[in-house]
């Protein structure tokens, strides 16, 4: 009986954590459906600790990502290359793609004043 109460408290804690996070609506819907399935499976006795643990880890990971944080654009290729080389060993192809994209963006911004900056999200 006590274990059922503690699991309910843990699920409630996860729900509160999700509500506090600033998540996109489709991601919020996915997490809520995962929690609903977990609750139903706990009531029917088909849930395992692995189910709970994997959902908890996913929610912890998703809520720790800075979805609502924006940074100032660095439009200096030298600084970007130094940062990429300093923080990311190897990955030369990916780093070159990022530098090419940034180069094209800088040239486009210099030649056309009406172009908007494109948002680029990198999770490295």
The per-residue pLDDT for range 7-39, each reduced to its tens digit, is 778 888 988 998 888 888 899 999 999 988 888
Average pLDDT of the segment spanning 67-95: 86
Q: What is the DSSP string of 55-73?
A: HHHHHHHHHHS-TT-----
What pTM did the predictor assign?
0.58
Contacts of 55 (CB under 8 A, 6+ apart): 14, 34, 35, 38
pLDDT value, residue 1: 42
Contacts of 33 (CB under 8 A, 6+ apart): none
Percent of the chain whose predicted confidence (pLDDT) is above 90: 17
Answer whether 11's CB lies under 8 Å from 39's CB.
yes
């Amino acid at each position: 009986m006590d274990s059922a109460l503690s699991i309910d408290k843990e699920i409630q804690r996860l729900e509160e954590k999700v509500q506090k996070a600033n998540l996109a609506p489709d991601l919020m819907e996915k997490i809520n459906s995962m929690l609903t399935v977990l609750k139903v499976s706990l009531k029917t006795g088909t849930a395992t600790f692995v189910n709970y643990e994997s959902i908890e880890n996913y929610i912890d990971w998703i809520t720790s990502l800075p979805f609502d944080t924006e940074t100032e654009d660095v439009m200096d290729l030298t600084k970007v290359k130094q940062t990429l080389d300093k923080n990311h060993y190897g990955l030369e192809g990916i780093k070159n793609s990022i530098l090419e994209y940034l180069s094209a963006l800088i040239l486009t911004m210099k030649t056309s004043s009406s172009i908007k900056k494109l948002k680029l999200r990198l999770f490295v």
